[in-house]
Amino acid sequence: MDEIDKTIINHLQGGFPVCSSPYKRVAAELDLTENELILRLENLLQTGVLSRFGPLYHAEEMGGALTLAAVKAPEELFDQIADSINEFPEVAHNYARNHELNMWFVIATDEKQRLTEVIKEIEQKTGLEVFNMPKINEYFVGLKLEA
């Protein structure tokens, strides 16, 4: 990752324009060509520097559902279980915690009833109980990680 990549990452954390040519607009703001910006983003994704690049949707306002979930994954099977859970397109991200519930993940669905289905499917696939922790209150945290 070079200085241009860092500049792209830092700039895009402030938002992405909604217009007919968003990459072209961002590229111009960064004194890059549209093609160079797209190629650099593809490279950052392919090399794993970025795990995803895309919009965040408020699933509940779109008729879907969202929850934080966790499992007690045996350490010796942790990676295998993470891979199994991550195969579900409804799982947004998955991370380890130093806790009895050591694997946490977010489930976002486009239909409310699908949330319960996904939890049951994960339980069947992994053989582990999924602890569903729906939000009670929502807070906006403007998290930006400077590259």
11-63: pLDDT as tens digits: 998 888 999 999 999 999 999 999 999 999 999 999 999 888 887 777 777 77
**Radius of gyration, alpha carbons of the chain:** 18
**Residue 66's CB: how many other CB atoms inside 10 A?**
19
Same domain, 71 and 100: yes
Q: Tell me how many domains the chain contains.
A: 2
- Rounded CA-CA distance 81/106 in Å is 15
- Rounded CA-CA distance 94/86 in Å is 7
pLDDT score, position 34? 97
Provide the residue range defining the domain that includes 14.
3-46
In a domain, 28, yes or no: yes
Same domain, 66 and 124: yes
User: Is the full-model pTM beyond 0.85?
Assistant: no
In a domain, 145, yes or no: no
Same domain, 86 and 118: yes
In a domain, 143, yes or no: no
Same domain, 93 and 129: yes
